[in-house]
Amino acid sequence: MTSTRVLVGTRKGAFILTSDGRRADWTVDGPHFGGWEVYHLTGSPVDPDRLYASQSGGWFGQLIQRSDDGGKNWTTVGNDFAYTGEVGDHLWYDGTPRPWEFKRIWHLEPSRHDVDTVYAGGEDAALYLSTDGGQKWSELTALRQHPTGPSWQPGAGGMCLHTIILDPADRDRIYVAISAAGAFRSDDGGASWLPINKGLRSGEIPDQDSEVGHCVHRLAQHPSRPDTLFMQKHWDVMRTDDAGANWREVSGNLPTDFGFPIAVHAHEPETIYVVPITSDSLHYPPDGKLRVYRSRTGGEHWEPLTNGLPQEHCYVNVLRDAMAVDTHEECGVYFGTTGGQVYHSADGGDNWAPIVRDLPAVLSVEVQVLP
């Protein structure tokens, strides 16, 4: 029988939650790296026992951990994240130039094809690549050195490269998203980049047609339709069907279209999930009700999913990397909150239950289905 492993990164360590394929009873293992921020913990599609963790903290900086046995044992690998070539400036919050300065790794994206190849998204925004299991990292400089780079500005959470999608159909195609520069696509393995933000409308910037400056919170893709991407922007839920050349809004009847994560059902490419959050100044759900919204029509028409989720006095947030789906026959959906709960639904979102309630604030959730 298959089993299920949920990888959770939190403000104070990493946790590994395991269950069988029924996903009814769970074992909680952790904390790993207790006291450290784990922005992301994820596994290789090639070998699910190869895990990578981004471990960081204000005192002692950035580390990368690797496990080759599904999280039982960990090895510290490389943490030399350098900006290659001329560092240059981006814009600071006050509009003045500021040199790029490395702070942390937000997201790790292992290759679909090679267990030792993994990409890392950094703050200040940069994309790194390791081809030796995380021992050595090199920057794919063309992204940071894009002609628009000097005009990139951080969002409230920092100028972070938080989303990396390695296209399942084209090995040379990579999508990334940066707060608050926008979304970018490479069709040559990262050697050059194209801003893909046409159609985004962002009230926070003066020029609505600006090539960059949009605060993209998260991108999601279904592997069967690689040219369709869904986006949770600062405000607005968007979709593209031409690999980012044009975006259109699909917020429809959502109670608010502000939020952070967005995910696609594992078997239904037009079924998507978001967690509406009241606003950018009120980082909690509307009316104190934690509701996942599901669209079975690729957006526009949304239904609230509430069964098993708190429907009063709930003021947690769900961060951009903290939602995931599994690939069981009946798709499971998972998300973690800033209140330390990890919820899951084993039936595509109809019914929810907490796996664990009192972890530190959850930064990331990933899920693996193991043979």
Query: Site residues (CB under 8 A) for another protein?
Result: 34-36, 57-63, 76, 79-80, 82
Alpha carbons 104 and 110: distance in angstroms, whole number: 17
Residue 107: strand pairing partners: 121
Nearer of residues 99 and 147 to another protein, judged by Cβ: 99
Least CB distance to another protein at residue 141 (A) = 16
Task: Give CA separation, 11 vs 16, 38, 137, 287, in Å.
Answer: 14, 6, 24, 26
Closest listed residue to residue 218, CA positions, set 188, 179, 245? 179
Least CB distance to another protein at residue 279 (A) = 27
Closest listed residue to residue 163, CA positions, set 217, 123, 126? 217
Nearer of residues 61 and 150 to another protein, judged by Cβ: 61
Least CB distance to another protein at residue 119 (A) = 20
Alpha carbons 101 and 326: distance in angstroms, whole number: 36
Omega cis (within 30) before 181: no
The pair of three-digit structure tokens given for residue 251, joined into one six-digit string: 């917020």
For 217, residues 6+ apart whose C-beta sits below 8 A from its C-beta are 162, 177, 179, 231, 232, 233, 234, 259, 260, 261, 262, 320
- Encoded amino acid at 55, one letter: Q
Nearer of residues 27 and 76 to another protein, judged by Cβ: 76
Nearer of residues 35 and 147 to another protein, judged by Cβ: 35
Least CB distance to another protein at residue 58 (A) = 6
Nearer of residues 80 and 303 to another protein, judged by Cβ: 80
Nearer of residues 196 and 363 to another protein, judged by Cβ: 363
Least CB distance to another protein at residue 272 (A) = 38
Nearer of residues 59 and 95 to another protein, judged by Cβ: 59
Could you tell me if 172 and 188 are in contact, meaning their C-beta atoms sit under 8 angstroms apart?
yes
Alpha carbons 172 and 20: distance in angstroms, whole number: 35
- Encoded amino acid at 119, one letter: Y
Least CB distance to another protein at residue 292 (A) = 33
Least CB distance to another protein at residue 76 (A) = 4
Alpha carbons 290 and 309: distance in angstroms, whole number: 6
Kindly tell me the sign of the dihedral angle through the C-alpha atoms of 224, 39, 97, 93: positive
